[in-house]
Amino acid sequence: MPKSDRRTERTRHAVAAAFVGEVLTRSYEDISVEDIVKRANVGRSTFYMHYKSKDDLLRESISRPSTVLAIIVGGDVTAQMVAPQLAHFHEQRARNGTFFRDPIRKLWVKRLAEMIEPRLTKLARAAHAHPSLPLALIAAQIAESQIALITNWLTQKPNIAAPVIAEALIAMTLAGIRAFLGLSADAPLLIPGEKLRVVRPES
């Protein structure tokens, strides 16, 4: 990897780590770019070379853990593929609980919906579906349902094993897709020709 790429990677990692550190100790609304760059030991200009705002940084931070949720839509996903990310949420629930509360939760749902919508579009096209609602609204509802299930699990019934929640999450998502797209119970729900790669959650 070229030096410039390694430097960029180190900078982005430092900024992301500083951001998470701020989020875990303070209200999201109270965090400023100045707070983040001070903690990361980088300049404001460096921050803005990589991110437009703290919301932009948040979007990137929640994209990785959102991937495995998004690919349930149109992907050949099993509970074994989803469970590790859910187990990570469970292990970090006391530390990362702020991510499951507004305003971050609302932004997370929005980002997840953005990741789901293009997958839903491909799936609807492949299935020759006739959606009952605009796809953007369906994507938002699926994202909301997924995050709601995870949030309620972590806050109300954390003793339930992650694989059980993974099974429920997949079943709920697929049932919602069938209902919203008007597909029969035996209609395939896979995006044609897609090869999936699920990245394990970071510790």
Q: Does residue 176 lie in a domain region?
A: yes
Peptide bond into 201 cis (omega under 30): no
Would you say residue 8 lies in a domain?
Answer: yes
Do 70 and 103 have their domain in common? Answer: yes
Same domain membership, residue 144 and residue 110:
yes
Report pLDDT digits (tens) over 91-149: 988 878 888 888 999 999 999 999 999 999 999 999 999 998 999 999 999 999 999 99
CA-based nearest residue to 69, from 147, 10, 179: 147
The CA distances from residue 46 to 51, 141, 151, in Å, are: 9, 36, 35
Looking up residue 24, the CATH number of its domain turns out to be: 1.10.10.60
pLDDT (0 to 100) of residue 195 = 75
Domain total of the chain: 2
Could you tell me if residue 192 is inside a domain? no
The answer to whether 31 touches 37, Cβ cutoff 8 Å, is: no
**What are the pLDDT digits (tens) for 145-201?**
999 999 999 999 999 999 999 999 999 999 999 999 999 988 889 999 887 655 555
Residues 72 and 155 in one domain: yes
Residue type, 45: S
Q: Is residue 196 part of a domain?
A: no
Q: By CB neighbour count within 10 A (0-12 exposed, 13-18 middle, 19+ buried), where does 114 fall?
A: middle
- Asked whether 201 and 65 are in contact (CB, 8 A), the reply is yes
How far is residue 23's CA from residue 169's CA, in Å, rounded to a whole number?
27
Spatial neighbors of 127 by CB under 8 A, at least 6 apart, are 181, 183, 187, 188, 189
**Phi and psi for 80 in degrees, rounded to 5?**
-65, -25
Q: Same domain for 151 and 132?
A: yes
Domain that holds residue 87: 62-181
Distance CA 99, CA 150 (A): 11
Tell me, yes or no, whether 38 and 122 share the same domain.
no
Based on the fold, state whether residues 131 and 35 are members of the same structural domain: no
